[in-house]
Structure 1
Amino acid sequence: MATVVAGADTSVTVQSATTSASAVVTNQNSADALYNQFITLMVAQVQNQDPLNPADGTEYVSQLATFAQVQSTENMVTILNNNAIMMDNLQVLTTADLVGQTVSVRTDTLQADGSTVYDGSIELTSPSNTVTLELTDEQGNVTNIALGSHSSGKVDFSIDTAELGLEGKYSMNVLLDEGQTYTPNITLNGTVEMVSIPSTGGASVLTINGIGDIPFYEIASFGQKSNNS
């Protein structure tokens, strides 16, 4: 705390302190500060116009409308940024609850551990007399799982990695009747082991057994299918 000497002229000191405090508190680039400057300049423009040749009033209205539009855009950007933060927080809360739950993920790879049975499904858009799930390891070795004849729709499958002797990373492909040119979607079921939140923002990353790390939006469905369905 500064000491005031009796009789000394403190007007300069007080004025300097007031100015410094005002500089700290007031943000000259804020929307409110710019709006006040705009109104001040407009009033000065009106007061100093030529009385014999006054400016058209519509010009002032146009200027005010333009500034109001800019201010409205700035407010909208602020609202959108706040909404984005809220969505990120909601995503964190949602994905955190997924740990330990079973989810279905769209994928064409399998991380086999040699002991687990992995369940999944294939989505057919047209019937096929033969449906085969083809698994290829990183050395090019192929394991085929025949699923038989199916009409269009979902075809469930199971991969017993212990029985088939599968361990490591495999790519998955679906073989159909000759002439079928589309690639069916494959979903694999797995348990969420961990949820990671990127420090730079963006989608949460889920670590799922049998699948590995995938972004949150790759999940096709949550929970397991009822045995009664």
Structure 2
Amino acid sequence: MSNINNVNSSGNVFLDLNKQDDASKTAAQEQSDMFMQLMIAQMQNQDPTSPADTSDYMNQISQMSMVESINNMNLTMQGMSNSMLSSQTALQASSMVGKTVYVPTTQAKVGDDGMIQGVMALQTSHEDVRVKVYDSTGAQISNLSLGAQAAGDGQFKFQLPEGYGAGDYKIEVEAKWGDDYVPVQAYLGRNVDSVSLGQNGVGMKINIEGGSVSFDQVKQIGA
């Protein structure tokens, strides 16, 4: 199972690039507006008895055109960069189809092998962590102790009790805290059916059985 715990930061790269693109467009427009305002103010406040040389205005207009050309070139390059980024993201997204992603849920979809696999997010270390399993009727069928666990993202894998096979089961992960047990966020596997991309790769949706999740909700990606 490959660990991609930093998927959040990867998703934010696309958001940051979009923000930079918008910022570049805004800055270019502000520079152009400021230049025009200064030029108009200069014309309005010039001395009528000693007007500015026409060539000075022509030089200023030429400078303004040059600045706008550079800004437009920057925007074009930014657009090309976003297009390449979108293509790269689409390629990466397509490679996820058919793989298993671990998403926050309590509902485990168990196959014929009767195996349950998941990831648990522990903020601190605990002297014991246990996993409870409930069947479709709500009856508890298993209470597995995983023993002491260190802080971080831990994995668990176990076989259902004899007599239980493929189907939907509810999973609860609890960590010992003092004399009590407290709930722990569990991430269970789902097969990726397809991936939907937003503009420039932003807003990626992972389509799984029963719905979809955003890319930043994925804790890990498995084979």
Bin the TM-score by the shorter chain: 0.5 to 0.7
In structure 2, relative to structure 1, the CA distance for the partners of 1:222 and 1:112 (3 Å cut) is closer
Q: Which has the higher contact order (CA 8 A, sep 6+)?
A: 2
Shift of 1:89: 1.7
Shift of 1:137: 8.0
- Residue 206 of structure 1 is matched in structure 2 by 206
> TM-score scaled by structure 1?
0.52
- Aligned 1:31-180 pairs, distance under 5 A: 53-55=50-52, 64-101=62-99, 103-113=100-110, 115=112, 116-134=114-132, 145-153=143-151, 154-158=153-157, 160=159, 163=162, 167-168=167-168, 170=170, 172-178=171-177
Amino acid at match of 2:150: S
Where structure 1 has 5 or more consecutive residues not aligned to the other structure, the ranges are 1-41, 43-48, 225-229
In structure 2, relative to structure 1, the CA distance for the partners of 1:199 and 1:142 (3 Å cut) is same
Shift of 1:219: 3.6
Identity %: 18
> TM-score scaled by structure 2?
0.53
Shift of 1:52: 6.5
Number of residue-to-residue matches in the alignment: 179
Shift of 1:188: 3.0
Where structure 2 has 5 or more consecutive residues not aligned to the other structure, the ranges are 1-38, 40-45
Greater Cα radius of gyration, structure 1 or 2:
1
| C-alpha distance in 2 between matches for 1:67 and 1:141 | 75
Shift of 1:131: 1.0
| C-alpha distance in 2 between matches for 1:145 and 1:181 | 13
Q: Please, what is the CA RMSD of the aligned residues?
A: 4.8
- Residue 28 of structure 2 is matched in structure 1 by none
Shift of 1:120: 1.8
Q: Bigger shift: 140-149 or 123-132?
A: 140-149
| C-alpha distance in 2 between matches for 1:141 and 1:98 | 35
